[in-house]
A and B are shown apart, each in its own frame.
Chain A
Amino acid sequence: MSFMERSANVYATGIILGAVAFAVRLYKISNPDEVVFDEVHFGKFAAYYILREYYFDVHPPLAKLLLGAAGWFVGFDGQFDFENIGDSYTEHHVPYIGMRVLPAAFGSLTVPLAFAIMRECGYPTLVAAFSASLILFGKSLVHNGHVAQVRLILLDAALVFFMTLSLYSYIRFRKLRYWEFTFEWWAWMIATGVSLACTLGCKMVGLLTFATIGTAVLVDLWNLLDIRKGLSLEHVAKHFFARALGLIVIPFVVYLSFFWIHFKILIRSGTGDSFMSPAFQETLQNNEMLLNSQEIRYYDTVAIRHKDSKVYLHSHVERYPLRYDDGRISSQGQQVTGYPFNDTNNFWQIVPTKSLPPTGRGRIVRHKDVIQLLHVNTDSNLLTHDVASPLMPTNQEFTTWPANDTTRYDDTLFEVNILEAHDGEPWKTKSGQFRLVHVPTRVSMWTHSQPLPDWAFKQQEINGNKNAQDRTATWFVDEIVSDETGNDIRNRTGTVEDKPVKRLNFFRKFFELQMLMLQHNAGLTASHPYASGPINWPFLISGISFWTHNDTQRQIYMIGNIIGWWTCVMALSIYVGIIGADLLARRRGVYPIPDPLRNRLWNSTGLFFAAWAYHYFPFFLMSRQLFIHHYLPAHLASALLAGGVFNFIVSETINYPISVAGPSTRLRPKTHAELGLRSFIAVGVFVSALIAMFIFLSPLTYGTPGLDGNQVNRRRLLSTWTLHFAGK
């Protein structure tokens, strides 16, 4: 047993790595004292937790809850809105350092954890330290890839930490395979499940971690099923259900609990209201819908607004021009447009198409009622017909028709289709979101952001969408202006004031939010100057500019340590090469690699490879905006893999066996890895180079000191890095 492998020294190495990690990540953490990159979002979310105002985001809540907790702990009062990159924290007395320490701590803990993973897998201390230092200076986890990303108030540090923790727990669990169903076995399995849930609770990327562990579990179960293992089917089933409980049911419950806490904290109306359904919004305190929603009756005069663009349904005496620029012809009817401001031309009266009782609840407008809309100022009814709209030849024109002329009566009939309503549900202001479907032609009233030309004062076009189910064809009644008699409608119902907050089943809330998150996540397709394709990531082709300061020429640029990242890429390709050569050789009846070594290569290093592949390749299928920080989990896996490959290259021996021997396990001779002096020197030189590169790039990581043009140019190691303040 060599000097390095003595347990005291192993712990010492781990502790030193951890300490260095903390030092590197906490160094100058107060700099800059301004809002950096996505702190704009995540700082804001933390503040919402403290203010208990409802918000909406595409990521699950755990990491943001933790940030909020950190903010609360250090006394942040939530009174800072993180509006722009570069806003000053010190001027607004935000205790941002405390909030930044949390991700930095997660980032730092990842390093000793990675070290522990390698040790648990039976790699020598040196190799474990090699992997850990790849992460430590790597650079992606803390700024400088790792370093940068984890120092700031961002989610990825927590994500990567929990992902590493999942791997670690799973490996501990796997090593107890001869102690099945013991307390420790259960404990590590449940720890795996809980860590997985936490990973998923930070970002949906956690699903990929689930896939990694899931694959390992399936392979494991598959081998247990092999009859040559001699296990009865009942016994295999017991294994299966144990894992289903620990790795599916428990994580799901934990994941749900994050949302439960999320909803418990966010009880006030906030910026996220408008994303949610009316039923959901009514569960929030001070919500506008809750306060103002009331039933609409026939002959009420109302103002109608479009849900997405917030324009009012508007009409005025001007008419459509006979001939448009592209030569198409209009009906020359009165214009109907979308107008963003309050105006008496936005007032429409609801005219019934059936007989009404003189008083009572029979006068309420209900779901699927057919109505006419009378434009009050011009005394004409809303109408649509099979004439192309001004801007879209595919959609129908909306216009109005004089109320006293009944020749086009049928074309003025519209059906009120309230969303998610049951039959006979009353139509309400604010909460009664609806589609207005034209009865004869079945088109939906719709609008889009393209303005009409000058003849309509650049107001928004309103037309009939043939896809009547279009999600954006949603409108709501903003207010009831007056009723039939002109009385003050606020006195009509006594319950307007002091409505109690409604309650909604937790699962309904959860599913609604979860669906919305997935939809919006997929919808993030707008282009971004620092977005990059997955193919660029392992090679570190481009980074992200987080923050710049013009006066002092300081900047934070998220980029990995190029030595470390390229080492990982090399390790990946060497691994694929080794596996490929092994397969080819075995196919020809040659067995070049001794079995224990091969098992290590396939099972342990293979798990890291699977983790890398699962956390990398799915991004190729995603059409949403992608950034290099999405590669951080995969980078961590590749750093672990680099250790395994390094071990394979320098030594033909491994520590073996590593699983905890059970009572009936056949004892096998222990072997120990022997690393020569040369590998110590190699690691020494490599880590020195790594540190040198880290220090060289550190001005970009820490955002200080400022660099002049020449210095920036020297740090631009690849021509694709778009650093600021570059010299000519």
Chain B
Amino acid sequence: MAEESTRRRNVSSSSYGNSKKEEGFVYDDQSASQDDADGKGLSAKHAKFLPRGQQHVRPRRLPPPSTLTEFIQQNWEWIPPVIYTLLAAFTRYYQIGKSNVVVWDEAHFGKFGSHYLKRDFYFDVHPPLGKMLVGLAGLLSGYDGSFEFKSGEAYPSHVPYTAMRVILATFGVGMVPIGWFTAVELGFSQRACHLVTLMVLCDCAWATISRFILLDSMLLFFTFTTVFGLTKFHNQQWRSFSFEWWFWLAFTGVSIGCVDSVKWVGFFVTALVGLYTIEDLWEKFGDLQMPIRIYLRHWAARILCLIITPFMVYLASFKIHFLILNHSGPGDAQMSSLFQANLRGNDFSQNPLEVAYGSKITLKNMGWGGGLLHSHPHSYPTGSQQQQVTCYHYKDDNNHWLVMPRWDEKEYDPNGDLRFLQDGDTVRLIHASTGRNMHSHPLPAPITKLNNEVSCYGNATVGDHQDHWAVEVVDDLNMGSKDKVHRIHSLTTRLRLKHVAQGCYLRAANAILPQWGWKQVEVSCVKENNPRDAHTYWNVESHWNDRLPRGEVKLYRSPFFRDFWHLNVAMMTSNNALIPDPDKEDILASTPYQWPWLNVGLRMCGWGDQQIKYYLLGNPIVWWSGTASLLLSLVALGVYLLRMQRRYNDFEPGQWDHVLYVGKVALIGWFLHYFPFLAMGRVTYIHHYLPALWFSVLMTGHLLDHFIFKSKRLSERTKWTVFIFCALAVIETFLWFRGIVFGIEGPIQDYKGLLWRKSWNIY
């Protein structure tokens, strides 16, 4: 209490007198720059609290070192990051090739990397940059792309998996020095910098996940660089528009572009930068001394560097993606027919040009993310219980449909006159492999209940007028508007299918059927006639008819922006379809509630005694201390705010701003990387927490720094004790758990003492 009472309570008479302007805001007398008596404003404030290294601009140029000691003295600040980088190289590279089998998601990302080497078009829910880097790693290490990356399979001798892992692990090595420099830029004391870096170095989960052919090391690396760029930029604020200022702003922008192009999780760190920028611009908006022109320049700089630049990087990664993948491959059907026709090895251009009765065709939906009209011998569990009709994104014989005349017309005669399909014709569509007719009736569709259900029903002789569909041409890319189109051309003619009896239109929007429909896209018949709805547009994609000559369609380039947007919608749709299946148990999945407490780990491979076993599990000390500091930070924030409301003065001028700034970066950063997963419907795994972990580590460093290392009350001795204790705890725990990072050989039971929590399935 004695301490308390000696503190200054600055309830000055002036703040009473000011009461007509009072709004209950607390910072006025400490931070509001327009009230600063000395009028130094923003820049003065920032200059005072610059972190080490920026505070004194480097003194005059020193003579070149003549001895080693002198060299070390001159470059003292570079020694720790270099040492940490070397240590990081050890933790990330040590025995990296020990397990010679495809571990965990290497099965996915290794395969995608192979596609770049083989240049086959594939589809995946993640943006392409990370996988292109995997491909590049393969290229550099001399891999030819021929391996299938089946989960758990041993690598054959011609796959240089060790070299690929090493190249990708380099991103994981890079995290460590960047962690160091970020801590420095945040103004941490030396001890806090060391602790934060040690935590990055010694977290088992970060180390483990960096050692395989995965995207996470890149995602983490670019997340780190983005935060680093932000902190660097923050420290240049006092000299706006200088070269360094521009450089770090642009650096942040490029990092954002990269992190977004690896995984969409990068949008969260983007949001952090966005919030920082909004707050910054809001501050500047209140700076009445700043000329409007300068203010607008600030806006323009941020739009250029933080919006346009990342977007260009993102676009460029897709452009390169399309340029590399120019062969037909497994992902074709996700894209528009025209795009596919431009892929090598694709025979669409050999299709007969004009569709006739008796032709076998596939129909492609032209909405964003649309697939191929599909049916299979499984029935709806609801409604009519007839055979399902869906939209499917992969090529399959179940996508084939036969164009047949109506029931009241003469039956199709394979030897009779050719009859071409024309605008306005009414036809029956027969599903080729089951022989059923596509049918609709006034029953609600399973998901979009306001639309009619579409099913397959009957056979070549059983059917009714509900099987009749009228072909309505929208237009043709080649021939132009509707009135110039006489016959239906494959690929280029856009058409709609109208159910004659109900007057509804065949539509496939992005509604996903549950497990009974294999998560395919629902097809329904929409009663509302909206002629502009692209989800009701279809085109003929593949076309087979022996009686017609092969066409040589002049190919139209598919415009890049259309493909780009199409692919992104398809990614979004597939991502949303990754919802947990209540009928199927996924032992690897975990819920966000479990992560901060480290309730779960993840077996990355088979658990047999002969296998080399990796277990994705954080360093408990790092994770738990991170979570504890996040909670503590909220308490501290509350206490400080309450004390401010009572006008206790706990901070020197400007100090509060800095403490708050670091706290906001850590707390809001963590929040942004964590809470979206709670709201997301999709399956979540523990490695989704790894980016958020960085912010909780920063918070640990920040709080230790604030309460201990920078405390004026504690003695050096106490500080050393705390520092050594924390550092040893982190390092020792890492060493204790090193087996799960470097790979455990032999029976797991031989490794005792790893089960710190009962919920870990280590044993």
- Which residues from chain A sit less than 8 Å from chain B, CB to CB? 219, 222-223, 225-228, 233, 392, 394, 448, 465-467, 470, 527-529, 584, 587-589, 595, 621, 623, 719, 722
Contact = CB atoms under 8 A, between A and B. Distances in A.
Closest 5 CB pairs between A and B? A529-B449, A587-B286, A467-B585, A225-B645, A227-B647
B11 A227 contact: yes
A722 B450 contact: yes
A225 B585 CA distance: 52
Contact of B285 (A465, A529, A587): A587
Contact of B16 (A228, A621, A623): A228
Contacts of B645: 222, 225-227
Given A222-B24, A228-B22, A527-B447, A394 B585 contact: yes
A466 B22 contact: no
A296 to B, nearest CB: 30
B57 interface: no
B646 A587 contact: no
Nearest to A528: B449
Given A227-B11, A466-B587, A621 B679 contact: yes
Given A394-B585, A623-B681, A225 B11 contact: no
A466 to B, nearest CB: 6
Nearest to B641: A222
Nearest to B515: A450
Nearest to B648: A227
B715 interface: no
A527 B444 CA distance: 11
B408 interface: no
Contact of A448 (B11, B19, B24, B583): B583
21 contacts: A223-B24, A226-B24, A227-B11, A227-B646, A227-B647, A228-B11, A228-B15, A228-B16, A392-B583, A392-B584, A448-B583, A467-B585, A527-B449, A529-B450, A587-B282, A587-B285, A587-B286, A588-B286, A589-B34, A589-B288, A621-B679
Contacts of A226: 22, 24, 645
Contacts of A595: 20
A466 B9 CA distance: 63
A528 B444 CA distance: 10
Given A226-B24, A228-B19, A588-B285, A529 B444 contact: yes
A595 B19 CA distance: 12
Nearest to B528: A719
B642 interface: yes
A198 B642 CA distance: 33
A225 B642 contact: yes
B52 to A, nearest CB: 33
A587 B679 CA distance: 34
A465 B584 CA distance: 9
A438 to B, nearest CB: 16
B15 A584 contact: no
B354 to A, nearest CB: 36
Interface in B640-692: 642, 645-647, 679, 681
A465 B449 CA distance: 33
A577 B584 CA distance: 49
Interface residues of B, number: 28
Nearest to B527: A722
Contacts of B34: 589
Contacts of B9: 227
Contacts of A394: 584-585
Contacts of A588: 285-286, 288
A623 B288 CA distance: 46
Residue among B447, B528, B585 having the largest count of chain A Cβ atoms under 10 Å: B585
Contacts of B20: 595
Contacts of A527: 447, 449
B762 to A, nearest CB: 16
Given A227-B647, A233-B646, A466 B528 contact: no
Nearest to B283: A587
Contacts of B24: 219, 222-223, 226
A527 B446 CA distance: 9
Nearest to A391: B583
A467 B585 CA distance: 7
Given A228-B22, A588-B288, 6 more contacts: A225-B646, A466-B587, A529-B444, A587-B285, A589-B288, A621-B679
B509 to A, nearest CB: 14
B388 to A, nearest CB: 15
A399 B20 CA distance: 83
A638 B642 CA distance: 33
Nearest to B447: A527
Residue among A219, A228, A465, A528 having the largest count of chain B Cβ atoms under 10 Å: A228
Nearest to A236: B646
A470 B584 CA distance: 11
A242 B482 CA distance: 75
Contacts of B285: 584, 587-588
A174 B16 CA distance: 24
Nearest to A226: B645
A623 B681 CA distance: 9
B340 to A, nearest CB: 30
A83 B447 CA distance: 26
Contacts of B11: 227-228
Contacts of A223: 24
A468 to B, nearest CB: 10
A631 to B, nearest CB: 20
A240 to B, nearest CB: 11
Contacts of B22: 226, 228
A219 B583 CA distance: 47
A119 to B, nearest CB: 27
A228 B647 CA distance: 9
A233 B4 CA distance: 15
Contacts of A466: 585, 587
Nearest to B530: A719
A584 B281 CA distance: 12
A98 to B, nearest CB: 35
Contacts of A529: 444, 449-450
Contacts of B444: 529
Residue among B24, B528, B679 having the largest count of chain A Cβ atoms under 10 Å: B24
Contacts of B286: 587-588
A337 B679 CA distance: 38
Contacts of A470: 585
Contacts of A233: 646
Contacts of B19: 228
A675 to B, nearest CB: 28
A164 B444 CA distance: 39
Nearest to A584: B285
Contacts of B642: 225
A584 B583 CA distance: 53
Residue among A233, A527, A528 having the largest count of chain B Cβ atoms under 10 Å: A527
A233 B646 CA distance: 9
Interface string B605-646: 000000000000000000000000000000000000010011
A584 B449 CA distance: 46
Contacts of A228: 11, 15-16, 19, 22
A642 to B, nearest CB: 26
Contact of A465 (B16, B447, B528, B585): B585
Nearest to B503: A728
A550 to B, nearest CB: 15
Interface string B525-542: 000100000000000000
Interface string B561-591: 0000000000000000000000111010000
A228 B16 CA distance: 6
A105 to B, nearest CB: 35
A241 B646 CA distance: 19
A588 B287 CA distance: 8
Nearest to B678: A621
Nearest to A583: B282
B168 to A, nearest CB: 31
B715 to A, nearest CB: 32
A623 B447 CA distance: 15
